[in-house]
Structure 1
Amino acid sequence: MRVVFMGTPSFAVPSLRALAAAYDVALVITRPDAVRSRGKVLEPSPVKAAAIELGLPVLEASRMTDEVLEALRDARADVFCVAAYGCILPDEVLTMAPGGCVNVHASLLPRWRGAAPIQRCILEGDEETGVSIMRIGHGVDTGDYCAQASCAVAGKTADELTAELARLGGELLVEVLPSVVDGSVAWTVQDEGLVTHAAKISKSEMKLDPASSVEANVRRVFASSDAAPARCAVAGKALRVLGVAASDACEAAPGSFRVAGKRVFLGCVDGSFELLEIKPDGKRAMSASAWAAGLREPQGSWELLA
């Protein structure tokens, strides 16, 4: 089976690797090199790096130009596979391959259509999430799906859940692809009455708030990312919170913090949670206990950042 793969971030890499191990990947399309970290140096996408390692032909494109369309035709693929490519695909591309164009989406559709399904399922406290192999259509994640696989959400950060779903997606894609190409697969129409939308996460949503519940604040930390970090101010010092745990080991009044036995607790409206790892502005990441050793007082206030 000949396959064209389109993807860009690390989430897409396990799908590419799984396809390359099972089928003939004729072409990989990914978005162009970009500044992807704190430095100013252009870096290849994770998919490009993986494709080069695998010895696969790569074409960088941020849109479907005539050159890209010609390359897609020349690939003579049986099916196009997509995982977080980041580009709108025109009708010509969707219908070019005999097997059509299928996408690996990181949710159990129709729940969490959109840009941030993984973070949204954490913020909402979903018990489970998963991946869906779906047809690409004109709406945002509105296409029929033919296969799903699920996993538990609790206790996993967005990075951890992303890695797990990426692996599940690659395995499921390879498993279902032959039946997609030969037309024997059964497609399920999404129930519009069950749709939820996963809008892009804003930085303001990730701000920790003493007026919120312990659970809400803990979920914000687990769902946070470099693009939308969980932040607050403790003892007047702005910091990013990297690790937390709900805890009843120490009672702290709402809006206050306490250091007890080298452990740092922040009080919310319904209890306290413990800081485990933090990154003060302008400094390196460190354990909360190491940071607390530099505080003048073992208790004080914490607040929502403006």
Structure 2
Amino acid sequence: MTLRIIFMGTPDFSVPTLKALAEAGHEILAVYTQPPRPAGRRGLELKPSAVQREAERLGIAVRCPASLKTLAEQEAFASLRADVAVVVAYGLLLPRAILEAPRLGCFNGHASLLPRWRGAAPIHRAIMAGDEATGVMVMKMEEGLDTGPVAASTRIPIGPDMTTGELHDRLSERGAVMMVEAMAELERGWLVLTPQSETGVTYAKKIDKAETRIDWSLPAEDVHNRIRGLSPFPGAWCEFAAGAKTERLKLLRSKVSDGEGAPGTLLDDQLTIACGSQAVRLVEVQRAGGRAVEAQEFLRGAKLTAGDKMS
């Protein structure tokens, strides 16, 4: 026996779950994903989502509504007569009519240990906050923001230098396995749902552009967490003097280091930069229009010396 599933997701994070459900033998009736976005240097091309590309590879019908609030879209969704909808980083709110349409409800794969980090950017926020662990959960969806009862969870440690990109991949793969396991239990009628705690609720709001510029007056630990929490996307950054002009530098990897000086001052030939307390040594950076390189390769081209300022 297999389930009739509607899959709803958009970015790379969602793809392993779609693949795993298909490989488990479930009938994927349709894939819902966000519409193709402008791409290319002039924004004239339309780039389909990672989920759309995978669905097309698997031969699954794709739907890309801009909203699910219209009666026509809700009727089209209900007409699929799904047993369940599986939602992983879809990016659109599901109205009550959508939540109630599948026979067994809608289940979400969420990248945090709920109720901590409900919302849009749980992976970034966990690292930026300096959390030592996070996880992935499968929950049955309600109208509230990530408030539904939990069906399964896994705790994953966050290493002191782990980036959002690295954690993203671990959570994505583990979440796919958990969702397949949860759907197997749901199919057999064995799935147990546990209400979320009412304490410890935090919200993972979207990353604002204003957060991406590094403030060197912060303690080194906070600067380091900001750098790795925004790596590789959207990327923390600072500026430095490149001859007569100022150039932006994307910061991808760092380590907390000893050292002191005026915040933003380059302390040595290892790309160690003073913070409000202690210092951060940059390990991997990327110049505008260039590729990611290790600190020493960047310094050979940038010709910075101790005492220079990063702003």
Normalized against structure 2, the TM-score is what?
Answer: 0.89
Matches within 5 A, 1:1-306: 1-22=3-24, 23-35=26-38, 40=43, 41-64=45-68, 65-154=70-159, 155-225=161-231, 228-235=234-241, 237-248=247-258, 251-255=259-263, 256-260=265-269, 263-296=270-303, 298-304=305-311
In 2, Cα distance between the equivalents of 1:280 and 1:119?
22
Amino acid at match of 1:51: A
**CA displacement 1:44-84 (0-9 Å, x = unmatched):** 11000000111111111121244433443332221111111
In 1, Cα distance between the equivalents of 2:204 and 2:188?
32
Q: Percent identity?
A: 36
Offset, 1:247: 3.0
Offset, 1:195: 0.7
Amino acid at match of 2:37: A
In 1, Cα distance between the equivalents of 2:174 and 2:23?
15
Q: Quick check: 1:102–1:135 contact (8 Å CA) kept in 2? A: yes
Amino acid at match of 1:275: L
In 2, Cα distance between the equivalents of 1:170 and 1:53?
18
Q: Quick check: 2:260–2:277 contact (8 Å CA) kept in 1? A: no
* Structure 1: gaps spanning 5 or more residues: none
Higher mean C-alpha deviation, range 140-149 or range 204-213: 204-213
> Are the structure 2 counterparts of residues 21 and 239 from structure 1 closer, same or farther at C-alpha, using a change threshold of 3 Å?
same
Taking only aligned residues, the RMSD between alpha carbons, in angstroms, comes to 2.1
Amino acid at match of 2:116: R
In 1, Cα distance between the equivalents of 2:138 and 2:291?
40
Per the alignment, in what secondary structure is the counterpart of residue 225 of structure 2?
helix
Offset, 1:125: 1.0
* Structure 2: gaps spanning 5 or more residues: none
Q: Quick check: 2:266–2:310 contact (8 Å CA) kept in 1? A: no
In 1, Cα distance between the equivalents of 2:304 and 2:16?
48
Q: Quick check: 1:239–1:279 contact (8 Å CA) kept in 2? A: yes
Higher mean C-alpha deviation, range 115-124 or range 266-275: 266-275
